[in-house]
């Protein structure tokens, strides 16, 4: 399954350990692939410079992973022109990116993106909707720590 995540979803997953993070982790574990375009990368950089995120990044207990770690797990494509009107003109790039990649879904929490239910074969969904449709479940170690010391990505065994 090929998915185009919107910028807010990417940033939420990158900065916070909530539903978007759990979605990315479970989707990658299930073999799903993500695709973005250069305009999404530019928007990520722009949003992360906003005062709200600068404050979060300065917290002593917060060390965000390098953005290059995220870029290493996604495909980057040039969007193609699409004939579509959405509330926020910048969101047209999501559809152009998805069309160029032949994506199955655009995942977004943005109301204006959801005004377009689908575009060709591309479906627009929220995280909860795609998790329900795909039977994708958060990985056990993302929802709560294991009760026993059995191996997991956060609790590897040591020789």
- Domains in the chain, start-ordered, CATH in brackets? 2-140 (3.40.50.1010)
Q: Which of 30, 125, 136, 120 is nearest to 83 (CA)?
A: 120
pTM of the model: 0.78
Whole-angstrom distance, CA of residue 63 vs CA of residue 131: 28
Pairing between β-strand 2-5 and β-strand 105-107 as defined by DSSP bridges: parallel
pLDDT (tens, 9 = 90+) of the chain, 159 residues, equals 999 999 989 988 887 778 888 888 889 888 999 999 999 999 988 887 788 776 665 666 666 667 788 888 899 999 999 988 777 778 889 999 999 999 999 999 888 888 888 889 999 999 888 888 777 766 554 444 344 444 434 434 333
Calculate the dihedral angle through the C-alpha atoms of 73, 76, 79, 85, rounding to the nearest 10 degrees: 30
């Amino acid at each position: 399954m090929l998915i185009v995540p919107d910028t807010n979803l990417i940033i939420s997953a990158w900065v916070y350990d909530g539903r978007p993070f759990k979605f990315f982790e479970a989707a990658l574990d299930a073999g799903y692939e993500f695709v973005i375009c250069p305009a999404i990368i530019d928007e990520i950089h722009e949003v992360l410079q906003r005062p709200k995120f600068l404050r979060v990044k300065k917290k002593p207990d917060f060390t965000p992973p390098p953005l290059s770690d995220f870029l290493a797990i996604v495909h980057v494509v040039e969007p193609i022109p699409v004939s579509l009107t959405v509330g926020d003109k910048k969101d047209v790039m999501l559809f152009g990116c998805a069309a160029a990649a032949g994506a199955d879904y655009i995942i977004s929490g943005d109301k204006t993106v959801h005004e377009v239910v689908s575009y060709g074969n591309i479906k627009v969904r929220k995280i909860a909707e795609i998790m329900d449709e795909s039977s994708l479940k958060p990985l056990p170690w993302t929802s709560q720590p294991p009760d026993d010391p059995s191996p997991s990505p956060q609790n590897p065994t040591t020789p």
